[in-house]
């Protein structure tokens, strides 16, 4: 079932002035309930502008955006959307304002009007869900490391139990291990709770591992949308959008250029290893006699 339907969405900043920028042009996009979709694109491609329509922070200049069945131009619907659509901004740790981690994570749930026992239960559950120790709840956010803070800030949105979770570059500026950890966590929660996840990224390795579908934006235009494997194999198109295909995809293409075609397109380095092993087992020690 579709939970977000975007029809011919165009968004223009500062219309009618010399600063006019067309941020989005004729976007057609449907996001389905419970899926993990990645929005990929280089800086200025319109990713962030697009998702700000999804929880009613921006209104279309032209076209229509329907979220959970109703158009966001409906003011009443738009003002209640934050209850169901969680948006994790870039560098969310910059919004933390409380003296304890608990207070900050509890901020959203309290705004939802839950009673204090429910709030504290949800906060504890969420912290456990992302694998943070419970002691962290009484800590002062200023004493935590950047990676920890990021996870706390994401908890602040997750604790509201959104039906749709949008994350704007959740891994930006973090070391790869923490980035992987955050995304793996979100993936788990998505699978368990049937949450819809929209991940903004320019790092296609992440999209390859976690997303079921990928949409590629370039200068406000939707270049391609489809199953991850299909989109990521279009290296030409990705290149045009200013993106770099995952290493595994490029490796597979180089191999096939050198006369070693893999039976299917790998998405991760583990895939490549497995496929190569298969190839070796079926063809013998030296596949095709080609040199690497």
Partner 1 sequence: MNNISMGQYLPAGSPVHRLDPRSKLICIALLVPAVLMTSNPLGLTLVSLWTLLVVLLSGIKPGLYWQSLKPLWVLLLISFVLQVFFTPGNALLTLGFIKISREGLLYSGWLLWRISVLLLAASVLTFTTTPLQLTMALEWLLSPLRRMRVPVQELAMMINLALRFVPTLFDEARMLLLAQRSRGTDFNSGSIKERVSRLTPFMVPLLTNIFSRADELALAMEIRCYRVGAARSRLHVMRFRPADYAALFLNTAILAAVITAKAL
Chain residues that interact with partner 1, rule: CB under 8 A: 13-19, 52, 55, 57, 82-83, 85-87, 89, 92, 94-97, 107-108, 111-112, 156-157, 160
Nearer to partner 1, 96 or 144 (CB): 96
Q: CA-to-CA distance for 6 and 29, rounded, in angstroms? A: 5
In the complex, least distance from residue 221 CB atom to partner 1, rounded to whole angstroms:
21
In the complex, least distance from residue 163 CB atom to partner 1, rounded to whole angstroms:
14
In the complex, least distance from residue 57 CB atom to partner 1, rounded to whole angstroms:
5
In the complex, least distance from residue 282 CB atom to partner 1, rounded to whole angstroms:
52
Nearer to partner 1, 165 or 249 (CB): 165
Nearer to partner 1, 13 or 247 (CB): 13
Q: CA-to-CA distance for 233 and 251, rounded, in angstroms? A: 11
In the complex, least distance from residue 229 CB atom to partner 1, rounded to whole angstroms:
32
Q: CA-to-CA distance for 215 and 176, rounded, in angstroms? A: 23
Nearer to partner 1, 25 or 110 (CB): 110
Angle (CA) 13-16-19 rounded to 5° is 55
Residue 98 backbone dihedrals phi, psi, to 5 degrees: -90, 170
**Helix pair 116-129, 101-111: axis angle to 10 deg:** 120
**Are the CB atoms for 89 and 82 separated by under 8 Å?**
no
In the complex, least distance from residue 3 CB atom to partner 1, rounded to whole angstroms:
17
Residue 26 backbone dihedrals phi, psi, to 5 degrees: 45, 55
The helix or strand, by DSSP H or E, that contains position 222, with its residue range, turns out to be strand 221-227
Nearer to partner 1, 98 or 219 (CB): 98
Q: CA-to-CA distance for 196 and 207, rounded, in angstroms? A: 15
Nearer to partner 1, 53 or 213 (CB): 53
């Amino acid at each position: 079932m579709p939970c977000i339907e975007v029809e011919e969405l165009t968004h223009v900043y500062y219309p009618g002035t010399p600063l006019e920028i067309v941020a989005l042009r004729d976007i057609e996009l449907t996001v389905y309930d419970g899926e993990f979709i990645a929005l990929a694109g280089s800086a200025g491609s319109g990713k962030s502008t697009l998702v700000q329509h999804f929880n009613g922070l921006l209104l279309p200049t032209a076209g229509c955006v329907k979220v959970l069945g109703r158009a966001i131009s409906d003011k009443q619907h738009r003002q209640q959307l934050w209850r169901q659509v969680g948006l994790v901004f870039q560098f969310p740790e910059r919004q933390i304002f409380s003296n304890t981690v608990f207070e900050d994570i509890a901020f959203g749930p309290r705004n939802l009007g839950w009673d204090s026992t429910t709030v504290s239960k949800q906060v504890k559950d969420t912290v456990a869900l992302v694998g943070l120790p419970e002691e962290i709840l009484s800590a002062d956010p200023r004493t935590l490391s950047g990676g920890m803070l990021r996870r706390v800030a994401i908890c602040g949105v997750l604790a509201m139990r959104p039906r749709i979770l949008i994350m704007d570059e959740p891994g930006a500026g973090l070391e790869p291990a923490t980035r992987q950890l955050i995304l793996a966590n979100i993936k788990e929660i998505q699978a368990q709770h049937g949450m819809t996840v929209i991940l903004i990224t320019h790092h296609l390795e992440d999209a390859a591992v976690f997303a079921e579908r990928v949409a590629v934006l370039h200068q406000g235009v939707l270049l391609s949308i489809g199953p991850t494997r299909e989109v990521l194999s279009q290296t030409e198109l990705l290149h045009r959008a200013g993106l770099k295909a995952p290493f595994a995809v490029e490796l597979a293409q180089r191999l096939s250029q050198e006369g070693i075609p893999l039976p299917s397109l790998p998405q991760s380095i583990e895939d490549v290893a497995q496929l190569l092993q298969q190839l070796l087992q079926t063809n013998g020690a030296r596949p095709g006699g080609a040199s690497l």
